[in-house]
A and B are shown apart, each in its own frame.
Chain A
């Protein structure tokens, strides 16, 4: 079974803090993604990576950065957390390609910024 593991299930951080969300997958997938999910807005893509050290901005990258130093690990960084970044953060991974490339999700991290 594909396993995508996020480092924390719940996090509470203070405004202005630097926050690291970690994600690890064990299926040797090339692609990794970070989404945030908010009520009424669905899943929105923050950043994705298609290879080690390679990244592309998604639809809402402002206020975030990412790091992928190893194939299995993809980190999301909130440089200076703000209350509007309170959300559910979902990491996912998939193989490269146009077909048979379903995404598998981690358990999610619910981040609260106070």
Chain B
């Protein structure tokens, strides 16, 4: 079965530090990778997408992709208490019928303490 793996955490970092979240995936043919943030009791919200090897930066967020190692990461610089949430890694994986469907990791809980 095609899978997306994340460390469940919690990952605890002090305010102002860099938080590093990691994800591995099993389908070598995947081409689309996403990070979602989910606050408790809310639905997932897209924060980053990445499609090519290397880094992609958006404000305090940097997504990193290494297709050879089947590895995706998310760095959050200058972490704030408001960043405390569960971060979900999603990979579009090919289903038996040929469609590419988002497959989610179980999420990493991030706690940013003052």
Contacts and interface: CB of A to CB of B under 8 A. Distances in A.
Contacts, number: 64
Contacts of A56: 95, 97, 99
B105 to A, nearest CB: 6
A42 B102 contact: no
Given A56-B97, A99-B31, A105 B49 contact: no
A58 B101 CA distance: 10
Interface residues of B, number: 26
Interface of A: 31, 33, 35, 40-43, 45, 48, 50, 56, 58-59, 90, 92, 94, 96-108
Interface of B: 1, 8, 31-32, 34, 42-46, 49, 51, 88, 90, 92, 95, 97, 99-107
